[in-house]
Amino acid sequence: MAPPIARSPRPPPRPPQRAGQLSRGGAEPWAPREAAAGVRPPRRGRAGERGAGRRGGARRAMAAATATAAAPGRARRGAPMYSQKELTSKKRDEFEDILEERRLSSDLRYAMKCYTPVIYKGLSPCKPNAIKSAVLQSEQVQYVIKQLQHAIQEHPVVLLPSHRSYVDFLMLSYLLYTYDLALPVIAAGIDFLGMKIVGELLRRAGAFFMRRSFGGNRLYWAVFAEYVKTMLRSGYAPIEFFLEGTRSRTAKTLTPKFGLLSIVMEPFFKREVFDTYLVPISISYERILEESLYAYELLGVPKPKESTSGLLKARRILSDNFGTIHIYVGEPVSLRTLASGRINRCPYNLVPRHLPQKPSEDIQEFVSDVAYKMELLQIENMVLSPWVLVAAVLLQNLPAMDFELLIEKTLWLKGLTQTFGGFIEWPDNLCAKKAVVSSLTLHSNIARLVDGRVVLNDKGVEDGAVGEIVFKRALAILMCATYRNQLLNVFVRPSLVAVALQMTRSFRREEVYSCFSFLRDVFSDEFVFFPGISLKDFEEGCFLLTKCDAIQTTQQEIYPTDKGSAIVSFLSAMFRPFVEGYQLIFRYLSKETKEAFTEKQFIPGVRNFVFQLLEKGKTQCYEVLSSDMQKNALAALVQLGAVKKKKMSNGFTYNVNQEAVNKILDMFDARIPVQKPVAARL
């Protein structure tokens, strides 16, 4: 059976083959120029005929000549990292149904088609044994284990997709194979290596496996890092890994991990390659394969271990309909352009290349900035389905909502989302009613239409003990919230301004900004914010609210308009689960914990505390049962200095500063004003 519809924009052009092909101009270092498309020759035989026809223009190389000469001076850390451009329905034309041709043929003929990707820089294909040999003979590994040698090459490509599902591993390879491009090598967790047959299949498909934690093992780190850098320098294949490190169980983008990114950037810092191209890729699912599994994990049910038998047992779900998958391949970003005028690579010339060097603070800051930039580009190109809007409206109207009112509110939210720059894929030629019905049909396991009202599909919620009822209701709400969360990436800045307006109960601009900045710091692990530009984020939130006539601003004041009260209320309600959830977690820490504790003690403790409140009807915030929110709230308190984190031989322990936690809780409850100095003049 053919997989669900998968649409993808045409791939970006290939990177230049020589330094002489780079364009020169005065572009700002953080603003890569438009790529120049390079069309490769058509394939031979039938494949060539297809390349000359419908998809001829789409078969472009993977990266482009995007490097520019930077303006003199050091790039500012607070430079804009994301575009303010509006995404309109025209963007939909950039997607192409890559399964159309396959439906007219057979799976076997597709798998046996001519596959002739262009070899990078004219090299011959390299066998895995040759890669292993090159790594073990490299100077850096030999330095650690007292023996030498490494390879050098130019212009590697690094693919950086978002990570929401196991399917992410397959989708990008499937896309590149369809367009006759070289398949990437993919960094995968070592858990997959233990799967019989499947582990070997994944390895032959390009996967290389890494531990979840290196645990300070210098030799393992040296071998692994050199393995990645050898593939990068030699141009063996594009390298693919996930900046988020693991799958997001909540569909919110996770804060980036810097380890692998610093590894692939090091050859450029050491002048072993002329440039490196980073390609942000956004993969959006209309229905996520593991949606119920994620909800169970967030509620404390242990994650099942990856195994071949488990995979075979789960194959029955492939008969379900999972809707459409969108893959948006962003413009390649030149590392050389990003670093121009900001990074001084001369210190690397003072030490032999094979000697390990600890990155300077400037380098670490630069790696962090690039990681956040790539994730913000991923977020910008995420595709939102109508169900995302339906879920956001439904969660604010539980336990049930009139169907006609749901349609009306969904249409209203569609317009607001587009005003804020969200990219919505609305089904062609479908009225709002049919689009909503189609979404409910696809997600009938979460919500259903009963007697003209839409209700959560929490069957059996009235049966059993009180604890079982709470668990079943929480399960349905967390599954629905997974889709609502996709909208939060677009709404987070204007929503935090709306929440700040309600918390401060003041229209003074400085007070609203102080509260916004406080909330931004507290939720820094919930949402992706570029470091050091709190004021810019505040101004963007105000601009978007002004754009939809929700607020009016002066130099000293911000106040809602009569028309905007509904918008401000909706945005505040959308973020209420996070505000109320953090309040409950802080309350637990201020009263229930006296001594040092571990994370394994903290999560069950919070869960039991909240369960009791839900059973007694003292709160309706089911989302606080999510272990993701609990961990993020604890991390926020550590960053704010209210909880001290200490490394022990068997993990980390935490100590609570009761006075500091109570003060933060009072700020959340709006009992005391947020006293945070304003970073800049407003």
Lowest mean pLDDT among 117-131, 158-172, 206-220, 373-387: 117-131
For the chain, the residue count is 682
213 vs 24, more confident: 213
Lowest mean pLDDT among 16-20, 157-161, 318-322, 624-628: 16-20
Q: Kindly state the tokens that stand for 427.
A: 């089904």
Give the position of tokens 């063996």.
Answer: 236
Whether the Cβ atoms of residue 38 and residue 60 lie closer than 8 Å to each other: yes
pLDDT > 90 in the chain, percent: 44
What pLDDT shows up at residue 44? 39
* Arithmetic mean of pLDDT, 558-562: 89
Whether the Cβ atoms of residue 60 and residue 12 lie closer than 8 Å to each other: yes
70 vs 203, more confident: 203
d(CA 589, CA 165): 33
Give the position of tokens 């006296």.
Answer: 594
What pLDDT shows up at residue 410? 96
584 vs 670, more confident: 584
Q: Kindly state the tokens that stand for 310.
A: 């488990």
| Alpha-carbon distance values, 317 to 282, 286, 295, 437, 593 (Å) | 24, 16, 17, 22, 43
d(CA 51, CA 44): 9
d(CA 379, CA 252): 9
* Arithmetic mean of pLDDT, 301-325: 78
DSSP letter (8 states) at residue 367: H
446 vs 82, more confident: 446
d(CA 226, CA 220): 10
Chain centroid to Cα 313, Å, comes to 29
* Arithmetic mean of pLDDT, 421-438: 88
Please report which confidence band the pLDDT of residue 467 belongs to, taking 50, 70 and 90 as the band edges.
confident
Does residue 1 surpass a pLDDT of 50?
no
Beta-carbon contacts of 431 under 8 Å, excluding residues fewer than 6 positions away, are none
**Nearest Cα to Cα of residue 446 among 414, 416, 472:** 472
Does residue 73 surpass a pLDDT of 60?
no
Whether the Cβ atoms of residue 480 and residue 447 lie closer than 8 Å to each other: yes
Lowest mean pLDDT among 57-71, 414-428, 615-629: 57-71
445 vs 310, more confident: 445
Q: Kindly state the tokens that stand for 477.
A: 């709400």
643: left (phi over 0), alpha (psi -120 to 50) or beta: beta
What pLDDT shows up at residue 352? 76
For all residues of the chain together, what is the average pLDDT? 80
Please, where are the H alpha helices in 443-532?
466-504, 509-522
What pLDDT shows up at residue 394? 96
* Arithmetic mean of pLDDT, 31-41: 38
* Arithmetic mean of pLDDT, 660-666: 90
Burial 53-66 (b: 16+ CB within 10 A, else e): eebeebbbbbbbbb
DSSP letter (8 states) at residue 641: T
Whether the Cβ atoms of residue 174 and residue 6 lie closer than 8 Å to each other: yes
Lowest mean pLDDT among 140-149, 438-447, 632-641: 140-149
Does residue 585 surpass a pLDDT of 70?
yes
11 vs 527, more confident: 527
d(CA 96, CA 205): 25
β-partners of residue 597 are 654
Please report which confidence band the pLDDT of residue 48 belongs to, taking 50, 70 and 90 as the band edges.
very low
- Residue 18 identity (one-letter amino acid): R
CB-count exposure of residue 580 (10 Å: 0-12, 13-18, 19+): middle
Question: Residues 134-168: pLDDT tens digits?
Answer: 887 888 777 765 547 332 334 789 999 999 998 88
613: left (phi over 0), alpha (psi -120 to 50) or beta: alpha
Highest mean pLDDT among 190-199, 231-240, 393-402: 393-402
* Arithmetic mean of pLDDT, 116-139: 74
CB-count exposure of residue 96 (10 Å: 0-12, 13-18, 19+): middle
What pLDDT shows up at residue 209? 81
Does residue 274 surpass a pLDDT of 80?
yes
Q: Kindly state the tokens that stand for 375.
A: 């994730």
Sign (positive/negative) of CA torsion 102, 107, 109, 111?
A: positive
Please report which confidence band the pLDDT of residue 192 belongs to, taking 50, 70 and 90 as the band edges.
confident
Lowest mean pLDDT among 16-25, 276-285, 536-545: 16-25
- Residue 75 identity (one-letter amino acid): A
Please report which confidence band the pLDDT of residue 464 belongs to, taking 50, 70 and 90 as the band edges.
low
d(CA 559, CA 605): 41
